[in-house]
Amino acid sequence: MHPHGGAPGRAMSAKQPSDGALLSGELRLAGRLDARFFTLLQALHDTGSINRAARTAGLSYKGAWLLLESACNLANEPLLETATGGAGGGGTKLTGAALGLLRAWQALQAEHRDFIRAQEAHLAALPALHGLMRRMSMKCTARNQFAGTVAALTLGPVTAQVNLALQGGGEITATLTTAAAKRLKLARGKEALALIKASEVVLVTDFAGWQLSARNQLAGTVSRIERSAVSSLVVLTLPGGGTITSTVTHEAVEALGLAVGMPATAVFKAYSVLVAAQA
């Protein structure tokens, strides 16, 4: 990077976070000049071709021109020099003003990354907030996600059983392979997440004296029912304040007479629980 002179370096994305980071931020100049614009400028400087620069920045040829023309119209000085034909074969290059703008972006971008890293370090000194953000950082399609601590771990030759004590009270049991438990480095006291797809959760309103083999049975109260075109989402609020969601058919909702405020139990097998843990 050459903030004060020389050829500009590679215009990297200003978006954070990198892998494992919890904070993110996007740097923009004047509300519209973002990393993609400066990637386009850098590629244009490297190649002298709008066509190749557009592909590098993930833009269409027309989109690249629109972006460049908009910036050029707002600048006090020309940003591009275009040559047609001739011994050099023509092409487009950045003016001194455009190179100065690119260098300024790169300097600001470096300071922006340093700021994000400093705030990450500050966040690490706040255990409660840092832990919450770590638990919320995973993005997956499983609707039910519970934070807990490994309360018990039993390793067998092939399978392992993990008991997670939930932060809001209660417990979830998961069955996974022993190899997976070792890869996750599970141990008593370690924080972990339990992930359960809503389609794996069965609702029971009356056991009628029967007992089920499913190890996980969380009793709660129906707090919300959402009907879609093909199914219904039924949300139970658990005693500790957490919620668990089940996807059921409209017919099942009607057959069970499900309604907000009635008690129900969410039942799911230990094999249906995915376990996630920080390395």
Strands 243-248 and 232-237: antiparallel
Q: What span, in angstroms and rounded, lies between the C-alpha atoms of 223 and 220? A: 9
From CA 121, how far away is CA 264, in angstroms rounded? 44
**Domains of the chain, residue spans:** 35-131, 138-276
- 18-45 average pLDDT score: 76
Predicted confidence at residue 11, as pLDDT, reads 37
Mean pLDDT of the chain: 83
Q: Which residue has the higher pLDDT, 76 or 164?
A: 164
> What beta strand segments (E) does 110-215 contain?
144-155, 159-166, 171-177, 191-196, 202-204
pLDDT at 103 over 60: yes
The distance between the two most distant Cα atoms of the chain, rounded to a whole number of Å, is 92
Domain at 138-276, CATH from 3.50.50.60, 2.40.50.100, 2.60.40.1530, 3.40.50.1820: 2.40.50.100
For 125-144, what is the mean pLDDT?
62
Which pLDDT score, from 0 to 100, does residue 245 have?
A: 95
- 35-131: which CATH number, 3.10.20.30, 3.40.50.150, 3.20.20.150, 1.10.10.10? 1.10.10.10
Asked if pLDDT for residue 132 goes beyond 50, the answer is yes
Q: Is the pLDDT of residue 181 over 70?
A: yes
Identify which has the larger pLDDT, 187 or 119: 187
Q: For the chain, where are the alpha helices, taking DSSP H only? A: 35-47, 50-57, 61-74, 96-124, 127-136, 178-183, 250-256
Closest to 128 in 3D by CA, of 109, 141, 147, 108: 147
Please state the rounded mean pLDDT for residues 53-60.
89
Higher local confidence (pLDDT), 131 or 141: 141
Of 242, 235, 246, the closest CA to residue 272 belongs to 246
- Average pLDDT in the 207-222 region? 95
